[in-house]
Copies of this chain bind each other. A is one copy, B any other.
Amino acid sequence: MAGKLKTAVLGATGYSGMELVRLLARHPHVDKPVLLKRSAESNETNIPTALQGLSANGNGNANGKGRLPVVPFSWSALQQAGIDLLFLATPHALSRELVPEAIARGLRVIDLSGAWRLKQAEHRAVYNFSDADASTAAKLDASAVYGLPELNSDKIPGAALVANPGCYATSVILALAPLLSAGVVDRDRGIISDSKSGVSGAGKEPTSRTHFVSVADNFSAYSVFGHRHTGEILEQLRLNSTQFIFTPHLLPIPRGILSTIYVHLNREMKAEEIQSCFGDCYHGKHWIRIFPASKLPEIQFSVHTNYCDLGFSLAKDGKRLIVVSCLDNLLKGAAGQAVQNMNLMHGWSEEEGLE
């Protein structure tokens, strides 16, 4: 397999990490990914079990085909393995801690956490980062590229550190960017994203909130006026906090996000104009599907794919617009987008390894 990219994944036991490993394991330009575990004591020792779906034989005997190397995390182990690209699917505090050294050692990094997504200190405040070396962190904050391929395909190829966007943020930013760029939105009347996510978005940790009996037959809003993805959305869309409301809700399904987004237009428009606005903005963008005016995306259409589906409905007055945005929170909202970023960083087609 000479010539293939050498990758490693820290955090392969989480939902996003597992999905990422699955994608990397069958990517045509990538060598078998190295799974890093943090320490002998950690419950990550069950990596092979968690990923058994990848192996040809569940019993672990036979030909071992599909078995992936599992290595305790250390910088020397990464060096010995000749890793080119490090994926972090770790809690943000750990990403914040590891990235400075990874970059210093010449690794390129795609970080799936919220650690490096925010440029403005006021937005970073919610994460309460404690940086060992504040000036290095500040430089990385400045140089990190927000890894939304449809909007930042100019900066991602040359980036050393790509901050993979949040799942909710991806669904909202992709829905609003074309309209805001086109200057047709009345920002001051307020934009609202009423977003709904499946439970895998809440992570793998068993809590009273993720218990089956709490979620099934239920539906609820949470983190109202206070979700951490709000900052990303504001920064990427250049909105201020009075111009935007983001309300996440928990759906009783394993995966998928649907955002219902309410916008006031600053002039009366026709459906065809809106359609063109989206079509022009995402022309040639493989992973965006724009629906015709008569039909709205549903979660089932995009789940288990890397697509972000966008559709809209315009009020009769031509001034109030609802955009519906759907994606799979673990693919376009996390691991799939990370692979898309990797593709861009290496000059490959954005579709590679994602069909």
Q: Which residues of A contact B (CB under 8 A)?
A: 15, 26, 52-53, 56-61, 189-190, 192, 194, 196, 199-200, 204, 206-208, 210-222, 224-225, 242, 245, 247, 249, 251-256, 258, 260, 262, 264, 286, 289-292, 295-301, 303-305, 309, 313-317, 320, 322, 324, 355
- For A315, the chain B residues whose CB sits under 8 A away are 225, 245
Q: How many angstroms from the CA of A215 to the CA of B214 in the assembled complex? A: 12
A212 in contact with B189 (CB, 8 Å): no
From known contacts A53-B305, A211-B211, infer whether A59 and B260 are also in contact, taking CB-CB under 8 Å: no
The distance from the CB of A299 to the nearest CB of chain B, in whole angstroms, is: 5
Bound form: Cα–Cα A282–B286 in Å = 41
User: CB-nearest residue of chain B relative to A314?
Assistant: B225
Are B58 and A225 in touch, CB under 8 angstroms? Answer: no
Q: A290-B57, A291-B59 are known contacts. Are A212 and B204 too (CB-CB below 8 A)?
A: no
CA distance A300 to B220 in the complex (A): 9
Contact (Cβ within 8 A) B317 A242: yes
Nearest-neighbour CB distance to chain B for A322, whole angstroms, equals 6
Between A309, A316, A322, the greatest number of chain B beta carbons within 10 A of the residue's beta carbon is seen for A322
The complex places the Cα of A215 from the Cα of B254 at a distance, in Å, of: 9
Which of B194, B217, B258, B317 is the one whose CB lies under 8 Å from A256? Answer: B217
Contacts of A258 in B (CB 8 A): 219-221, 249
